[in-house]
Amino acid sequence: NAGVTQTPKFQVLKTGQSMTLQCAQDMNHNSMYWYRQDPGMGLRLIYYSASEGTTDKGEVPNGYNVSRLNKREFSLRLESAAPSQTSVYFCASSGGQGAGSPLHFGNGTRLTVT
């Protein structure tokens, strides 16, 4: 089972460049999430989508946009990358069964902005 698939695995950008991080899940989950992981700060929620057609801001949305393209796919876009966006980005999905539902994570995208 593929689970949650993220592309690319690694990316280096120059300040001001744009890029889109792709995420797809094959578990028929309703909810999808983008987190960023930084040393000493754990994981912080950027955006989430409770269902197809809806998106909401998380804790750290500034500088990012998202698209829930369909039930399977949830992309994260950096319009003008900044060094502060150097991080590891994780996509996750969950089955929509309420607060006890676990999240299933992809393997991450390591992004460096120079």
Partner 1 sequence: GNSVTQMEGPVTLSEEAFLTINCTYTATGYPSLFWYVQYPGEGLQLLLKATKADDKGSNKGFEATYRKETTSFHLEKGSVQVSDSAVYFCALSDPGGNEKLTFGTGTRLTIIP
**Counting contacts by CB under 8 A, is residue 103 touching partner 1?**
yes
Q: How many CB atoms lie within 10 A of CB 33?
A: 24
Q: Residue 59 or 79: which CB sits closer to partner 1?
A: 59
**Counting contacts by CB under 8 A, is residue 19 touching partner 1?**
no
Angle at 26 between CA 30 and CA 109, to 5 degrees: 95
**Counting contacts by CB under 8 A, is residue 2 touching partner 1?**
no
| In the complex, least distance from residue 103 CB atom to partner 1, rounded to whole angstroms | 6
Quick one: which of 79, 32, 37 has its CA closest to 54?
32
The C-alpha atoms of residue 81 and residue 31 are separated, in whole angstroms, by: 26
| In the complex, least distance from residue 65 CB atom to partner 1, rounded to whole angstroms | 19
SS3 call for 84: helix
By CB under 8 A, the count of residues binding partner 1 is: 28
**Counting contacts by CB under 8 A, is residue 45 touching partner 1?**
yes
**Counting contacts by CB under 8 A, is residue 61 touching partner 1?**
no
